[in-house]
Structure 1
Amino acid sequence: MRVDFYQLTRDPAELVLPALARLTLGAGERLLVVSEDGAQLDRIEKALWDRPDSFLANGRAGGAHDARQPILLSGQADPANGAKFLALADGVWRDMAGATRVFLLFPPDRIDDARACWRMLGQREGVERKYWRQDGGKWREGP
C-alpha cells in the first residue's frame, strides 16, 4: 500500500481533491473520500460537480447506487463502491481493508497527528510513504 501525505498549506482539501480524483479515475480506479465533517463533504461534493472543464461524478454514501459511484463521499472508511483508493480529507487516519493507495490530506494544525501517523505506518510491512507539500501552486515531494 502506498500512502501519500499532503500537507495543505495553501489550498483546502476541497480544492485539492478534484485533481486527485481525476488522477484516480484516469488510472482506472474508484475513490472513497472520507471526512467526519459533513460541511466539508458538502464543499468537496460541490467542487467535484462544479469543475469548469468537466464534472467528476460522485455520490454520498447511503444511497441506492453506492456500488456504481466512481467517487463516493462518506463519513466512514467503508468502500461501498469497491474503491481501493482512499482520500482522508479531514486529516484523520483510518484503515481500510483492501486499500492500495491512501491520500492523507492534513492542514498545518494537524501536523503532529500526521507525524505520528507517518511513524506508525513506518512500522508496517509493505507500506510505501510519500510526503508532499505545497510550494506556491505546485506540489513538491518533501524530505
Structure 2
Amino acid sequence: MTEVLFYHLERRPLEAVLPTLLEKCLERDWKVVVQGGSEERLQSVDAHLWTYRDDSFLPHGSTGDGDAELQPIYLTTGPDNPNGAAVRFLIDGAEPPDLIDYQRAIFIFDGRDETAVGQARNHWKTARAAGHTVTYWQQNEAGRWEQKA
C-alpha cells in the first residue's frame, strides 16, 4: 500500500516547505509529480523552484517542456504521471488520482484555510478506507514537523 502523508501548514508557507521536501525525494533518487489545483499556482511553483535559493535550483518540467519521462520533478494539474514518479505531491486542493501506484503521496494544505482543512480530512478518510498507511504532520512553534497521527 501507499504511504500517505498529510502536512498541515501553519507557520511557513508552501513556498518555504515544498522545495525542502522535494530535495529529500531527489536525494533518495525518487522521481516526483507535483499536482496543483490550478495552472496559475503551478506557474508560480515552477518559477519558485528555479529561484528558491541563490546557490541551487530544483530540476523540473511540465507539459510545455517536452521529455516528460526524463524530468525528475514533473508539474501538472491532472492525474498524469509521465515520468513514472514514485512520489506524488498534492497541493492547493488538487484532487488525487488513484494512489495505489505510488510509494508515497503527500498532501500539503494550509491550516488557516477551512476549505483546505476540510478537503484534507476527506482525503484522509478516503486514503484510510483504501487501506493506505496514513500519517499526519503538523508544524510546531519552531516550524519543525511533528507527527500527530
What's the TM-score, normalizing by structure 2?
0.86
Corresponding residue to 1:102 among 87, 92, 105: 105
Partner of 2:11: 10
Mapped pair 1:63 → 2:68: no
Structure 2 unaligned regions, length at least 5: none
Larger mean CA deviation between 92-101 and 111-120 belongs to 92-101
5 Å matches for 1:1-143?
1-50=2-51, 51-96=53-98, 98-108=101-111, 109=113, 110-125=116-131, 127-135=132-140, 136-143=142-149
Structure 1 residue 124, shift from structure 2 partner: 1.6
Cα deviation 1:2-23 (Å, max 9, x = unaligned):
0110111122222211111101
Structure 1 residue 137, shift from structure 2 partner: 2.1
Cα deviation 1:50-86 (Å, max 9, x = unaligned):
1234211111124321111100111112111111200
- What secondary structure sits across from 1:59 in the alignment? coil
Between the two proteins, what is the percent identity of the paired residues?
32
Q: Is residue 92–residue 109 contact of structure 2 (8 Å, CA) maintained in 1?
A: yes
Larger mean CA deviation between 60-69 and 76-85 belongs to 60-69
- Supply the AA of the counterpart residue of 1:132: W
Cα deviation 1:93-136 (Å, max 9, x = unaligned):
412451110110111221122112212221122x1111111113
The count of aligned residue pairs is 142
Larger mean CA deviation between 77-86 and 52-61 belongs to 52-61
Larger mean CA deviation between 29-38 and 94-103 belongs to 94-103
The Cα RMSD (Å) is: 1.6
Larger mean CA deviation between 41-50 and 67-76 belongs to 41-50
- What secondary structure sits across from 1:118 in the alignment? helix
Q: 1:93 to 1:142 in 2, by over 3 A?
A: farther
Q: 1:71 to 1:117 in 2, by over 3 A?
A: same
Q: Is residue 32–residue 77 contact of structure 1 (8 Å, CA) maintained in 2?
A: no
Q: 1:91 to 1:6 in 2, by over 3 A?
A: farther
What's the TM-score, normalizing by structure 1?
0.90
- Supply the AA of the counterpart residue of 1:131: Y
Q: State how far apart, in whole Å, the 2-side matches of 1:100 and 1:85 are.
A: 6
Q: State how far apart, in whole Å, the 1-side matches of 2:95 and 2:12 are.
A: 20
